[in-house]
Amino acid sequence: MSQRVKIKQILLSDKTDYEVTVKGWVRTFRNNQFIALNDGSTNNNLQIVIELDTDPALQRRLTTGAAISVTGQVVASLGKGQKVEVKARELEVLGDCDGEKYPLQLKNRPSLEYLREIAHLRFRTNTFGAIFRLRHSLAFAVHKFFNEKGFVYLHTPIITASDAEGAGEMFRVTTLDLKKPPLTVDGDIDFKEDFFGRSTNLTVSGQLEGELGAMAFGDIYTFGPTFRAENSNTARHLAEFWMIEPEMAFYDLKDNMDLAEEFIKYVIRYALENNREDLEFLASRLVEEEKSKPQQDRSEMGLIEKLEFVLNNEFMRITYTEAIDILKNSKPNKNKKFQYLVEEWGTDLQSEHERFLVEKHFKKPVILTDYPAAIKSFYMKQNEDGKTVRAMDILFPGIGEIVGGSQREENYDKLVKRMEELHIPVEELSWYLDTRRFGTAPHAGFGLGFERLVLFVSGMTNIRDVIPFPRTPKNAEF
Amino acid sequence: MSQRVKIKQILLSDKTDYEVTVKGWVRTFRNNQFIALNDGSTNNNLQIVIELDTDPALQRRLTTGAAISVTGQVVASLGKGQKVEVKARELEVLGDCDGEKYPLQLKNRPSLEYLREIAHLRFRTNTFGAIFRLRHSLAFAVHKFFNEKGFVYLHTPIITASDAEGAGEMFRVTTLDLKKPPLTVDGDIDFKEDFFGRSTNLTVSGQLEGELGAMAFGDIYTFGPTFRAENSNTARHLAEFWMIEPEMAFYDLKDNMDLAEEFIKYVIRYALENNREDLEFLASRLVEEEKSKPQQDRSEMGLIEKLEFVLNNEFMRITYTEAIDILKNSKPNKNKKFQYLVEEWGTDLQSEHERFLVEKHFKKPVILTDYPAAIKSFYMKQNEDGKTVRAMDILFPGIGEIVGGSQREENYDKLVKRMEELHIPVEELSWYLDTRRFGTAPHAGFGLGFERLVLFVSGMTNIRDVIPFPRTPKNAEF
Question: How do residues A68-123 score in pLDDT, each as one tens digit?
Answer: 999 999 999 988 888 999 999 999 999 999 999 999 987 678 999 999 999 999 99
Structure confidence at residue B105 as a pLDDT band (50, 70, 90): confident
pLDDT 10s digits, B393-404: 999 998 899 999
Whether residue A421 is predicted with pLDDT greater than 90 in this model: the reply is yes
Which residues have a Cβ under 8 Å from the Cβ of B176 and sit 6 or more positions away? A178, B182, B189, B191, B193, B194
Subunit contact A216:B124, Cβ cutoff 8 A: yes
pLDDT of residue A240: 98
pLDDT of residue A314: 97
B216 touches chain A (CB under 8 A): yes
Report the percent of chain A where pLDDT is more than 90: 93
Subunit contact A250:B162, Cβ cutoff 8 A: no
Count CA within 13 A, CB hemisphere, residue B373.
Answer: 20
pLDDT of residue B317: 98
- CB-CB neighbors (< 8 A) of A148 in chain B: none
A25 touches chain B (CB under 8 A): yes
> In B120-131, which positions are buried (b, 16+ CB within 10 angstroms) versus exposed (e)?
bbbbbbbbbbbb
Q: What's the CA gap between B285 and B287, in Å, rounded? A: 5
Amino acid A126 reads N
pLDDT of residue A168: 67
Distance from CA of B327 to the nearest CA of A (A): 38
Length of chain B: 478
pLDDT of residue A191: 96
- CB-CB neighbors (< 8 A) of A434 in chain B: 120-121
- CB-CB neighbors (< 8 A) of B154 in chain A: 132, 136, 468
- CB-CB neighbors (< 8 A) of A202 in chain B: 158-159, 173
Report the percent of chain B where pLDDT is more than 90: 93
ipTM above 0.95, yes or no: yes
Whether residue A164 is predicted with pLDDT greater than 70 in this model: the reply is no
Structure confidence at residue B296 as a pLDDT band (50, 70, 90): confident
Whether residue A2 is predicted with pLDDT greater than 70 in this model: the reply is no
pLDDT 10s digits, A40-51: 999 999 999 999
Determine the average pLDDT of the residues in B428-436: 96
Distance from CA of B364 to the nearest CA of A (A): 30
A40 touches chain B (CB under 8 A): yes
- CB-CB neighbors (< 8 A) of A411 in chain B: none
Subunit contact B25:A150, Cβ cutoff 8 A: no
Write down the CATH superfamily of domain A126-169+204-465.
Bira Bifunctional Protein; Domain 2 (3.30.930.10)
pLDDT 10s digits, A269-327: 999 999 999 999 999 999 999 999 998 888 889 999 999 999 999 999 999 999 999 99
Which of A163-177, A178-192, B115-129, B245-259 shows the lowest per-residue confidence on average (mean pLDDT)?
A163-177
pLDDT of residue A1: 55
Given a contact cutoff of 8 angstroms between Cβ atoms, the answer to whether A361 and A355 are in contact is no
Subunit contact B175:A176, Cβ cutoff 8 A: no
The three-class DSSP label of residue B399 is coil
pLDDT of residue A122: 97
The three-class DSSP label of residue A354 is helix
Subunit contact B172:A175, Cβ cutoff 8 A: yes
Subunit contact B159:A195, Cβ cutoff 8 A: no
pLDDT of residue A241: 98
Query: In terms of Cα–Cα distance, which of A156, A236, A286 is closest to A470?
Result: A236
Subunit contact A6:B150, Cβ cutoff 8 A: yes
Q: What's the CA gap between B121 and A434, in Å, rounded? A: 8
| Chain region(s) in chain B for CATH 2.40.50.140 | 7-102
Q: What's the CA gap between A112 and A280, in Å, rounded? A: 19
Nearest to B147 among A140, A154, A160 (CB): A140
> In A86-110, which positions are buried (b, 16+ CB within 10 angstroms) versus exposed (e)?
bbbeebebbbbbeeeebbbbeeeeb
Averaged pLDDT score across all residues of chain A: 95
Task: Choose the mutation target among A267, A438, A467, A469 for the interface with B, i.e. most B CBs under 10 Å.
Answer: A438
Length of chain A: 478
How many CB atoms are located within 10 Å of the residue A415 CB? 25
pLDDT 10s digits, A229-262: 999 899 999 999 999 999 999 999 999 999 999 9
- Return the beta strands (E) in A138-280 as ranges: 152-153, 159-160, 172-174, 200-202, 219-227, 240-249
Subunit contact B41:A469, Cβ cutoff 8 A: no
Distance from CA of B416 to the nearest CA of A (A): 16
B160 touches chain A (CB under 8 A): yes
Which of A358-367, B212-221, B297-306 shows the lowest per-residue confidence on average (mean pLDDT)?
B297-306
CATH code of domain A7-102: 2.40.50.140
Determine the average pLDDT of the residues in A376-387: 97
Structure confidence at residue A356 as a pLDDT band (50, 70, 90): very high
Query: In terms of Cα–Cα distance, which of B60, B53, B52, B51 is closest to B87?
Result: B51
Of A27 and B107, the structure prediction assigns the larger pLDDT to: A27
Whether residue B164 is predicted with pLDDT greater than 60 in this model: the reply is no
Determine the average pLDDT of the residues in A16-31: 96
Pairing assessment for the beta strands A84-95 and A67-76 based on DSSP bridges: antiparallel
Determine the average pLDDT of the residues in B42-58: 95
pLDDT of residue A101: 95
Of A296 and B472, the structure prediction assigns the larger pLDDT to: B472
Which residues have a Cβ under 8 Å from the Cβ of A124 and sit 6 or more positions away? A25, A65, A104, B215, B216
pLDDT 10s digits, A446-477: 999 999 999 999 999 999 999 999 999 999 99
pLDDT 10s digits, B266-293: 999 999 999 999 999 999 999 999 999 9
Structure confidence at residue B333 as a pLDDT band (50, 70, 90): very high
pLDDT of residue A144: 98
Structure confidence at residue B168 as a pLDDT band (50, 70, 90): low
Determine the average pLDDT of the residues in B48-66: 96
Residue of B nearest to A92 (CA): B441
A467 touches chain B (CB under 8 A): yes
Subunit contact B438:A101, Cβ cutoff 8 A: yes
Task: Choose the mutation target among A11, A102, A152 for the interface with B, i.e. most B CBs under 10 Å.
Answer: A152
Whether residue B75 is predicted with pLDDT greater than 80 in this model: the reply is yes
pLDDT of residue B79: 81
Subunit contact B467:A69, Cβ cutoff 8 A: no
Given a contact cutoff of 8 angstroms between Cβ atoms, the answer to whether A206 and A222 are in contact is yes
| Chain region(s) in chain A for CATH 3.30.930.10 | 126-169+204-465
Subunit contact B129:A217, Cβ cutoff 8 A: yes
Determine the average pLDDT of the residues in B453-458: 98
Determine the average pLDDT of the residues in A364-368: 97
pLDDT 10s digits, A178-203: 999 999 999 999 999 999 999 999 99
Structure confidence at residue B472 as a pLDDT band (50, 70, 90): very high
Subunit contact A24:B218, Cβ cutoff 8 A: yes
pLDDT of residue B166: 59
Structure confidence at residue B1 as a pLDDT band (50, 70, 90): low
Subunit contact A440:B95, Cβ cutoff 8 A: yes
- What stretch of H or E contains B89? strand B84-95
pLDDT of residue B81: 81
B434 touches chain A (CB under 8 A): yes
Subunit contact B136:A158, Cβ cutoff 8 A: no
pLDDT of residue B297: 84
